[in-house]
Structure formats: C-alpha cells, structure tokens
Structure 1
Amino acid sequence: MADFEELSFVIPGYTPETIPLDRLLEYLQQMAQVLGDTQNLHLIEIRKSSVAPVFRVPKAAALAAKERANRVQRGDGTKKQVDAFNRISKMLRRDSRDAGKPALLRSGDRVLLKIPAAPQDTGVLSGIRQPSTVDGQLIRVGGTADDAALQIQDLEGRIMSGFTAKRSLAKELAKLMWEPVRLSGDGQWCRTEEGNWLLERMQVHSYELLEDEDLSVVLERLRSVDVRWPADVHKRLRQERDESL
C-alpha cells in the first residue's frame, strides 16, 4: 500500500509555458491555505493541458487535507480557508479565458474541490472624497515638491502613505515627529471587493497634538470627575434608547 497520495490542482487559463512564476506561486500559496498544511504538500510535477501542479502528500495528511477541502466546498471552512478560496476565485476571474471553467482540486479522477471564477464585482468604488481625520505618529516628512509627503503610523501600527501638506504646515509637523497627532484634511477613499474602506490619499490642512498618557492615568482621571447623576437616570436612559429605536 502506498504511503503517499497525489493531489492535483488544475488552474485554467494558462499553460506551463505561459503562466508567470509569481502568479503560479500566488495560486499555490492560496491552495495551501485552503488545505491548511504547507509542511506536507510536496510539489513534484506540473502537468500540461491547463496548469496542473501535482502534490505528493503522506496518506494521513492527505486524508486531513481532503476533509478540509470538503468542508470548504460545503461552505463551513475556517475564515482563512474561505478567504483563500475567494482569492483564487477572483484570480480566476481575471486570468481565465473561459469564465465557465473552474479551478479543480483532484485526487485521481475524483474532484475534491471546484472553484468557479468570481462574477464581475460592481461593489468596488474609488475616488470618494470627504473630510477625514487620522490619528497616529508621524514617521516621515520630506520631498522637494510644493506639497511635502508625509508618512504616518496609525494607532494599530499600520504604516500609511499618500499624505501631503503644504510646506509651511509640513515644517510645523516636522517638529512633531513620533508624537501622537490627529491629522485633518480632504481624504480620498476607495471600497475594496471585500467591502472594506481604505484611505488612499489625503491633503492635510490642520493637525492637533494628542495627549500621550497611560490608560490607567486616563481612567483614574475619569473616576475623579465629580458627576452628579439625577435620581431617575436609569428611566431617562431607557426612554432615550426607546425613542432612538
């Protein structure tokens, strides 16, 4: 009895001679996320017709990988697996010359997982302008144009670029490097295919220096505030809540 099983991943829209290496690696990476086992997937061959990478997988690991694929096909995989499935689907939409031809994960002649190309998405938006604010720390101020380029690290640690400010304002901001600030101005936003809103760029018009205090200090200050609540506070809060529904 063989100790290994072969799983093939059929990618339509390319041949081994035409698929770019970086695109092939993207597909393989996402399929590895779907199967949830990068350690036991060994690429041994790329078969022709479409592009069909073949994995050699130990029997026990193959059994677990096939069960994960079945769960994803049923729609009850983990978030990471479902996200990878959806990424492959969107990649197929762009790559496949035949929109009706799905990607397939096979074990021999048996199809374990079928991934159709995603339909054209009309939910993507870009160029949405509105007044915006961003809190974080300035980590770069520079450039030679009339509008200086700014880079900020937000409160979640993400590095954000695409900010600009007039030189006079940039000179003031340069003195506040690595200090917590709130930048305000005209932002340009986009909505991704996943429905997330992203700030693409922002012309900064003003700023506010934020206090950088320990959370315990802030909480202690709040506790020390002398607030006199009315006797019927609970009744009033319930009434306001009911009126807002």
Structure 2
Amino acid sequence: MAEQQQYRLKIDVFSVDSLPMARLAEYMAELAVLLGECERVHFSHMEKGSAVLVSTIEPVAFPKVEERVSRVSRGDGPKDAMQAFKKIDNLLAKDGAVATLTGPTVGQVIEFPGRTRPKPVKYGPFREVGTLDGRIIRIGGRDETIPVWLKDGDVEYHCNVRGEEVARRLAPYYLNGVIRVHGSGKWVREESGAWNLEQFDINDFEVLDDSPMADVVGKLRAVEGGTWHESDDALSDILGLRRDDKGRH
C-alpha cells in the first residue's frame, strides 16, 4: 500500500504554544483551499518548536495536489488556489511572519513573503481636468467656496464651486435632472491600486437629457422629413449607428 505524503507549512514567529486557535483555523482553512482535493487531504498534527502545520495527502490524490502546488509556486495556479496563497500571505503580513510550504518532492517549496513583502505605496494627490455626471443632491454653504454633492448611481462626488455665478446657475437643478460638470479633480492612488477622487472643483456645467430611450425614439420619429418612423426597430438602428461610428475611430 502506498504511503501517504505530507506537506508542511512552517510559520516562523509562532510556536505550538503561542499560535492562537482562531488564527490557526484561518491558516488551515486557506491551506486546505491551496492544496485542493479537500476530501483526501487531512490535517495531521503540529510539530513541536516553530508552528509547523502538517497535512497528509492520500496516495490517490497526491499527483493532483503536487501539480496544483507546483503551479502555485510558478504563479499560474488555479484562481482559488492563488487567492488562498494571497490570503495566507496577508495573514502572515498581519502577524509579522513569513512562512514556507514544503512537500515530499525535492525542491518543491512555496515561499510566503508576509512581513518582508514591499509595503504598498500611496501616490498623489494629482490634479486632472475632467468631467463628472450626476444629480445634485446637496448644494450650499456660507463660504466663498460653495460645496456641491453629485450622485451618480451609488457613487457620490464631493465638489466645490468658486464664486456665486456658477452656483446660482446650478441651484435650479437641485434634485432636478442630470448635469455634467466641468473642472479639475484631485485624485489619489490608494495602496490597493484604486484611484480615489478626493475633491472636484467645478468651473462650468451643462444639462444632460435624461429622457427614457423610448421618449428619445418617439421624438426622432416625430421629426418632419425624417425616416425614423419607417423603421420597425429604431432603437437597434440607433445602436447600429453607434457601433459604426466607433468602428471608424
């Protein structure tokens, strides 16, 4: 009968006595995902000394587990395995630890950088000219800079208007229609890589037509001398024009 093979996850800052049970459970859960073949991979024990989680692999599952671990070590493993690798590494970074996963095959090692990985960097702020679309959900203030809040779906933008002239023209559109504001935004690139708009200064705006598409099609069909009324599917015709226009660029 073939012997069961083992994988060892060694975490440098913990011992058997110092690793909290709740944290151990988190490491074990992600390690199970990384190894795969969950029905045939079993937690065996923890070795004395540094915290070493020992997992045993049933012989029938070992070739698949070995291939999966090899792919993770190369960085091209299955999506769930790579996500588990990242989650283990995030746990290690929070614990100020590093770890290695070794298997029975010579040279098969996965290094988890944990605390030694480069710290994410925050960039900015940067100024960039642009536009924002949305509905005004709040406007007003007593200072020279007048705050305006725009909402586009679930996203809210905090904007400012300098001077009363543009603010007065904006006021009638409070909770009334969709506008496009022009100006410059202050952007920050967060540690996660996402861009965050901290502030947007409005210098002008335009009112957008937020009529339902059916109303727009109806208006087109009503244009004297036009041919839209002859089409059975004017909406598809409009979308076709948009595709053709994009194809010319």
TM range (shorter): 0.5 to 0.7
Q: How does 1:18-167 map to 2 (within 5 A)?
A: 18-19=19-20, 21=22, 25=26, 27-28=27-28, 30-37=30-37, 41-43=41-43, 45=45, 49-55=49-55, 57-78=57-78, 81-82=81-82, 84-85=84-85, 88-89=88-89, 92-93=92-93, 95-96=95-96, 102-107=98-103, 112-117=108-113, 119-121=116-118, 124-131=121-128, 133=130, 141=137, 152-153=152-153, 160=155, 163-165=157-159
Change (3 A) 1:186 1:69: same
Matched letter for residue 66 of structure 2? K
Distance 1:150 1:48 in 2: 59
Structure 2: state its 5+ residue gaps: 162-166, 215-234
Match in the other structure for 1:232: none
Which residue number corresponds to residue 7 of structure 1? 7
Aligned positions, number:
210
> 1:14 is aligned with what amino acid?
F
Structure 1 stretches lacking a partner, 5+ long: 154-158, 230-236, 238-245
Contact 1:105–1:111 at 8 Å: present in 2 too? no
In structure 1, what residue type is equivalent to 2:99? A
Give the TM-score normalised by structure 1.
0.53
Please say which of residues 204-213 and 65-74 is displaced more in the overlay: 204-213
C-alpha separation between the residues in 2 aligned to 1:136 and 1:89? 39
Percent identity reads 19
Task: Judge conservation of contact 1:164–1:203 (CA < 8 Å) in 2.
Answer: yes
Aligned residue in 1 for 2:186:
187
Q: Which residue identity is paired with 2:185?
A: D
Structure of greater Rg: 2
- Check conservation: 1:130, 1:187, Cα contact below 8 A: yes
> Taking structure 1 as reference, are residues 51 and 137 closer, same or farther at Cα in structure 2, changes over 3 Å only?
farther
Runs (4+) of structure 1 exceeding 6 A deviation are: 108-111, 134-138, 167-171
- CA distance in 2 between counterparts of 1:66 and 1:170 reads 66
Distance 1:136 1:165, change over 3 A: closer
